Amino acid sequence: MPEAHSLHRHARDQREALAGQVLAVSSPQGRFDAAPFDGHRLDDVQAYGKHLLYSFDEAPDVHVHLGLKGIYLRTADLALPPRGGTRMRLAGEREAFSLIAPSRCEALVPQARDALLASLGPDPLRVGEAGREDAARRLAAAGTAVGAALLDQSVWAGIGNAWRAELLFLAGLDPARRVGEEEAGLLWDLAVELLRLGVDAGQVVSDPTAPDERWVYKRDTCRRCGTTVQTRTVAGRTAYVCPRDQR
């Protein structure tokens, strides 16, 4: 499932390409009512954790969650017909973005938008260092194993399985442990630093000196010490753990 760095990259790219323009909005697939948005100006695109929100003038917001299979296709050829499976197509003056196979693509009235945002914890890419105290408090107070709490979007927004594995490794923490505010703050600092790199790189970057490498995620052996990586199920997802480097 795409994690926060991917969603913030989508938001940045679409905001730069389309914001301020009157868009042709359509749904070739027919599963999204595009009429309220077609011919309206796109004011902004923002990412909140794993969610995208599109703000239009004189129209509701559009909420997108990519889920497991959702993707965007970008083209500068506006005459190129979109794929038949396109849920939503946003066409501006020079570029178009086609949304395919999202788990959610829906209009949101202001009350629903506010409820969605209120359900989310702090996003490292939105509040950064300023959100450290709140983020540490939330994670420490989650009352469950840190590996489960990190995937709870009401605790922190945007962290998925890949970032969970790499952040816990760098902090030296076993996912089955509970953490205090000091350890939670360290995890937040790592998330703020590394997710920013992930936005620019378009991938999980857990080692700035080797951006294409991972420490434990989907590896047979730990890249640091060579110990066999253990796998366990934590919060319904496979956790990757180095038993030597993670306490």
Max CA-CA distance within the chain? Answer: 58
CB 99 within 8 A of CB 123: no
d(CA 105, CA 198): 25
Catalytic residue, chosen from 2, 28, 124, 175, is: 2
Residue of 9, 50, 132, 138 marked catalytic: 50
Phi-psi region of 88 (alpha: psi -120 to 50; beta: other; left: phi over 0): beta
> Is 2 one of the catalytic residues?
yes
Residue 3 among the catalytic residues: yes
H runs (alpha helix) in the chain: 4-18, 110-118, 124-127, 132-140, 146-149, 161-171, 181-201
Gap between the Cα atoms of 191 and 183, Å rounded: 13
Catalytic residue among 104, 126, 196, 237: 237
Q: How many residues does the chain have?
A: 247
- Active-site residue, selected from the candidate residues 3, 95, 166, 183: 3
Q: Identify whether 196 is a catalytic site residue.
A: no
- What single-letter DSSP state applies at residue 228? B
Q: Which residues are catalytic?
A: 2-3, 50, 237
